[in-house]
A and B are shown apart, each in its own frame.
Chain A
């Protein structure tokens, strides 16, 4: 046969089954577009010249690109399997009508080529139409110019096309194996959907155990960094557990309900239970996939949104009263000159002499250990960061009056460990060790200028001595060492936001000055989390589209099968109203089970999610929980609306159809 004929036949098949091929092609085009945008940002964005979140943005985009490639492969594999199920009858008929295996393989290849080419063209059109919009939104979220406009990068297009075609090639090989290993009659015959599914005890047990262990691990996570492997393991367990629950536990449960004669032989239950049991056989994998995609969607979306929308609050918490914390300018006149240069005036200022910035200390048995403690650290010790300041600086900053005895220190403790005593471990000149004890008084006022776990407030007279105490060596007795304390100035300025940003940039450029300011930190965090949000949105769109496709293909198969079943029930004597109620009962379970289980997954994942959010300073005030809860409610609402719309559609179809 002429190759042209194969293409003609393949094109005609695709056109005849456009309701199956169109969503698949659309999904591939969308994947192509997203991959191009991410790759374009990664290759054309001059991130190293950017001041805000440069490395993190690039890392996020690279990581996102790799995850997207894996996701594209999984999606193409899954949905092409659904298409295979639907076209195998037609291909079986071609074999019966005289096509050889070779003919069918060629036809299949032609179909794959047409679909791939159309998807690539569609993807390119998507890039042209939505590319600029997506880049603009990425820049908007990142609050900076990422690239200078978007153009057609032929090399990039070629690489992505090659990737997509290689995915297509893998699918073609899989389909070819199917065609070679199946005879025409088995292809013609539909999958044996009508056989009653068996309740597999092992699958049921695995499902419950996997989910139980996965949930248990998630609930017991204390430290996201240390328990990362455990979390990945828990995610895998929950994914496998979800599949097992739908394939095993669901069927087992329905069988148990069927065994209860009083419940089963009831007008409202008999058909529903038996139909659900049969439908679960083909629905289980789809329902499990929807559950997992929904869980990923809720977690990804709420995580990205919580990180992005919470940035400002988090930065405000870090700079509650003063927007600038400057270290390294001891000369007031020098500071005045810089401030004047940017048309600003000092609104308020507090100067805090700092003995030492953030350094690691040890907390053990409700005692704080400073000095030469590194070699004494044990496994169960807590090692928080500490900043030491003078009492006068503390009083200035907090407007309080505190009196400290010679053997006392004041401690602002933000850890969960209570501390009552402080031990100073000093190494003497003869290398012997001596230990000094100090009483610890707790600070009643939360002191936010220094964000370390502990802030130690020492009497001014002993400040220089503490320079030694913190290091555990008597070095400041030597005349070569400076005993001047560095001055931290917490300041607010009067003037426009732009001028304040310009001042921050000017001070940041000066290597002798250390500055931490509200505007720079906010910009940096916004740019990093903006990229995070942008990727999150792309992935969320993909997840939503995948869920829609699963539901679409399932309903496509289902409506046809139901038509026959409902026709029988009608002829037996069910009224049309009863038929639509019956359909509603079944769909209620099938549609609502995945979001309900997904919400349960999310609730169980919350402790780990919360810890992750806490890493970025969003764990407080239930903010992350609120966002995740809202995500769950939105998903549930959307599925209820979908269910009601579907019921209305089916009811209309049943009511208007003649038997």
Chain B
């Protein structure tokens, strides 16, 4: 079942005097199945963040359609988008983006409070999430009392508390040390195995090797997609690295 579909999505940034146009996304089309874990890789300026911003309804497309659960989010109004984002999308940021004024528990519960969900039920679900993410003992602490890895796990719990259709992750391991980074990626894998759809943007081939599929973005276009299939992680990692080196040598040749 397709949970996310992009159809010929364009995003053009125009300078203030309308003299310059930059094609950040140039006819991107892709699909994400329910329970699938997809990584998007690309260099800086390739359009990764723009794509994620469009999926999260932070920005509007210039052309094309984006369907989440068969609903075209491009046609939604500003207020509708915010509500949709709150209910159906979970977002994990590179800088964790936890609110300093709230404890870990309150940070996690915040989306439920904003959506006015039944707090008793959500607390039960919170316990389950905390067990999966190993943060049971951290709930009463404030973000400044947590390490980077712990903060990111709290951020994931916050993204998942409303049981979103899709989890969007923007370089989730970017600000973490290698050990915390591995633990986090293992967690994402575990979540995917529980049926969570995940779309992750990353620079790191190692992080991407945890996904089932990797889409390579260049100059606003998806130039290739590779699937892990039956490969183990090491093999898939090698394929990603090979893919990147082929691209780089092609760039060098073109340059």
Would you call A572 and B114 a contact (CB within 8 A)?
A: yes
Would you call B91 and A571 a contact (CB within 8 A)?
A: yes
0/1 string, A253-289, CB within 8 A of B gives 1: 0000000000001110011001101100000000000
Residue of A nearest to B97 (CB): A568
Report Cα–Cα, A194/B78, bound state, in Å. Answer: 31
* A274 partner residues in chain B, CB cutoff 8 A: 99, 101-102, 106
* B86 partner residues in chain A, CB cutoff 8 A: 572-574
Report Cα–Cα, A574/B109, bound state, in Å. Answer: 14
B42 at the interface (CB under 8 A from A): no
Given A195-B142, A573-B83, A577-B79, A275-B101 contact (CB < 8 Å): yes
* A568 partner residues in chain B, CB cutoff 8 A: 97-99
Name the one of B53, B79, B113, B142 contacting A267, with C-beta atoms under 8 angstroms.
B113
B54 at the interface (CB under 8 A from A): no
* A270 partner residues in chain B, CB cutoff 8 A: 102, 106, 110, 113
Would you call B93 and A571 a contact (CB within 8 A)?
A: yes
Name the one of B56, B119, B144 contacting A571, with C-beta atoms under 8 angstroms.
B56
Would you call A265 and B102 a contact (CB within 8 A)?
A: no
Report Cα–Cα, A274/B111, bound state, in Å. Answer: 15
* B102 partner residues in chain A, CB cutoff 8 A: 270-271, 274
Of the listed residues B53, B93, B99, the one surrounded by the most CB atoms of chain A closer than 10 A to its CB is B99
Tell me, rounded to whole Å, the shortest Cβ–Cβ distance linking B191 to chain A.
Answer: 19
B100 at the interface (CB under 8 A from A): yes
B31 at the interface (CB under 8 A from A): no
Report Cα–Cα, A614/B123, bound state, in Å. Answer: 64
Of the listed residues A192, A265, A565, A569, the one surrounded by the most CB atoms of chain B closer than 10 A to its CB is A265
Report Cα–Cα, A196/B98, bound state, in Å. Answer: 14
A4 at the interface (CB under 8 A from B): no
Would you call B85 and A565 a contact (CB within 8 A)?
A: no
B116 at the interface (CB under 8 A from A): yes
Name the one of A194, A570, A573, A575 contacting B100, with C-beta atoms under 8 angstroms.
A194
Would you call A574 and B114 a contact (CB within 8 A)?
A: yes
Interface residue count on the B side (C-beta < 8 Å): 32
B219 at the interface (CB under 8 A from A): no
Would you call B82 and A573 a contact (CB within 8 A)?
A: yes
Report Cα–Cα, A136/B185, bound state, in Å. Answer: 77
Chain B residues 70 to 122 lying within 8 A of chain A, measured CB to CB, are: 78-79, 82-83, 85-87, 91, 93, 97-102, 106, 109-111, 113-116, 119
B59 at the interface (CB under 8 A from A): yes
* B47 partner residues in chain A, CB cutoff 8 A: none
Report Cα–Cα, A267/B114, bound state, in Å. Answer: 5
Would you call A196 and B142 a contact (CB within 8 A)?
A: yes
Would you call A194 and B144 a contact (CB within 8 A)?
A: yes
Would you call A278 and B78 a contact (CB within 8 A)?
A: no
Chain B residues 171 to 228 lying within 8 A of chain A, measured CB to CB, are: none
Tell me, rounded to whole Å, the shortest Cβ–Cβ distance linking A505 to chain B.
Answer: 71
Tell me, rounded to whole Å, the shortest Cβ–Cβ distance linking B150 to chain A.
Answer: 16
* B58 partner residues in chain A, CB cutoff 8 A: 570-571, 658-659
B149 at the interface (CB under 8 A from A): no
* B143 partner residues in chain A, CB cutoff 8 A: 194
Chain A residues 185 to 233 lying within 8 A of chain B, measured CB to CB, are: 192-196
A247 at the interface (CB under 8 A from B): no
Report Cα–Cα, A575/B99, bound state, in Å. Answer: 17
Report Cα–Cα, A270/B106, bound state, in Å. Answer: 9
Chain A residues 567 to 603 lying within 8 A of chain B, measured CB to CB, are: 567-578
Report Cα–Cα, A265/B108, bound state, in Å. Answer: 12
Report Cα–Cα, A572/B59, bound state, in Å. Answer: 14
Would you call B114 and A573 a contact (CB within 8 A)?
A: yes
Report Cα–Cα, A271/B113, bound state, in Å. Answer: 10
Tell me, rounded to whole Å, the shortest Cβ–Cβ distance linking B120 to chain A.
Answer: 11
0/1 string, A119-137, CB within 8 A of B gives 1: 0000000000000000000
* A195 partner residues in chain B, CB cutoff 8 A: 142, 144
Tell me, rounded to whole Å, the shortest Cβ–Cβ distance linking B230 to chain A.
Answer: 37
* A265 partner residues in chain B, CB cutoff 8 A: 109, 113, 119
Report Cα–Cα, A567/B97, bound state, in Å. Answer: 9
Of the listed residues A194, A567, A571, A658, the one surrounded by the most CB atoms of chain B closer than 10 A to its CB is A571
Residue of A nearest to B58 (CB): A659
Given A194-B100, A195-B144, A568-B99, A573-B111 contact (CB < 8 Å): yes
Residue of B nearest to A564 (CB): B97
* B110 partner residues in chain A, CB cutoff 8 A: 270-271, 572
* A577 partner residues in chain B, CB cutoff 8 A: 79
Would you call B79 and A575 a contact (CB within 8 A)?
A: yes
Would you call B59 and A278 a contact (CB within 8 A)?
A: no
Tell me, rounded to whole Å, the shortest Cβ–Cβ distance linking A610 to chain B.
Answer: 44
Report Cα–Cα, A578/B85, bound state, in Å. Answer: 14
Chain A residues 536 to 585 lying within 8 A of chain B, measured CB to CB, are: 565, 567-578
Would you call B82 and A565 a contact (CB within 8 A)?
A: no
* A567 partner residues in chain B, CB cutoff 8 A: 97
Tell me, rounded to whole Å, the shortest Cβ–Cβ distance linking A265 to chain B.
Answer: 6
Residue of B nearest to A572 (CB): B111
Report Cα–Cα, A447/B222, bound state, in Å. Answer: 102
Report Cα–Cα, A569/B82, bound state, in Å. Answer: 10
Report Cα–Cα, A567/B58, bound state, in Å. Answer: 10
Report Cα–Cα, A315/B98, bound state, in Å. Answer: 68
Would you call A658 and B116 a contact (CB within 8 A)?
A: no
Tell me, rounded to whole Å, the shortest Cβ–Cβ distance linking A352 to chain B.
Answer: 76
* A572 partner residues in chain B, CB cutoff 8 A: 85-86, 91, 110-111, 114, 158
Name the one of B59, B113, B158 contacting A266, with C-beta atoms under 8 angstroms.
B113
Given A194-B144, A270-B110, A576-B97 contact (CB < 8 Å): no
Tell me, rounded to whole Å, the shortest Cβ–Cβ distance linking B213 to chain A.
Answer: 25
Report Cα–Cα, A571/B110, bound state, in Å. Answer: 12
Would you call B100 and A278 a contact (CB within 8 A)?
A: yes
Report Cα–Cα, A658/B158, bound state, in Å. Answer: 23
* A574 partner residues in chain B, CB cutoff 8 A: 82, 86, 114
Report Cα–Cα, A567/B119, bound state, in Å. Answer: 25
* B158 partner residues in chain A, CB cutoff 8 A: 572
0/1 string, B111-150, CB within 8 A of A gives 1: 1011110010000000000000000000000111000000
Given A195-B142, A196-B142, A571-B113 contact (CB < 8 Å): no
Report Cα–Cα, A565/B143, bound state, in Å. Answer: 13
Tell me, rounded to whole Å, the shortest Cβ–Cβ distance linking A74 to chain B.
Answer: 32
Report Cα–Cα, A434/B67, bound state, in Å. Answer: 113
Report Cα–Cα, A542/B99, bound state, in Å. Answer: 38
Residue of A nearest to B53 (CB): A659
Name the one of A193, A571, A576 contacting B78, with C-beta atoms under 8 angstroms.
A576
Residue of A nearest to B82 (CB): A575
* B115 partner residues in chain A, CB cutoff 8 A: 573
* B106 partner residues in chain A, CB cutoff 8 A: 270, 274
Report Cα–Cα, A658/B91, bound state, in Å. Answer: 17
Residue of B nearest to A268 (CB): B113
Name the one of A267, A565, A576, A658 contacting B99, with C-beta atoms under 8 angstroms.
A565
Would you call B83 and A277 a contact (CB within 8 A)?
A: no
Of the listed residues A192, A196, A266, the one surrounded by the most CB atoms of chain B closer than 10 A to its CB is A196
Tell me, rounded to whole Å, the shortest Cβ–Cβ distance linking A8 to chain B.
Answer: 33
Given A571-B91, A572-B114, A658-B59 contact (CB < 8 Å): yes
Tell me, rounded to whole Å, the shortest Cβ–Cβ distance linking A1 to chain B.
Answer: 37
Would you call B82 and A278 a contact (CB within 8 A)?
A: no
Chain A residues 630 to 659 lying within 8 A of chain B, measured CB to CB, are: 658-659
Report Cα–Cα, A659/B53, bound state, in Å. Answer: 9
* B78 partner residues in chain A, CB cutoff 8 A: 575-576
Given A192-B144, A266-B113, A569-B99, 17 other A-B residues pairs in contact with their CB atoms under 8 A: A194-B100, A194-B101, A195-B142, A195-B144, A270-B110, A271-B102, A274-B102, A568-B99, A570-B58, A571-B56, A571-B97, A573-B85, A573-B115, A574-B114, A575-B79, A576-B82, A659-B59
A-B CB contact pairs (8 Å), 26 listed: A192-B144, A194-B142, A194-B144, A195-B142, A196-B101, A196-B142, A265-B109, A267-B113, A270-B102, A270-B106, A270-B110, A274-B99, A275-B101, A278-B100, A278-B101, A569-B99, A571-B56, A571-B58, A572-B85, A572-B110, A573-B82, A573-B83, A575-B82, A575-B83, A576-B78, A659-B53
Pick the 9 closest A-B CB pairs, nearest first: A573-B86, A194-B100, A575-B82, A274-B101, A278-B101, A568-B97, A573-B85, A659-B58, A194-B144
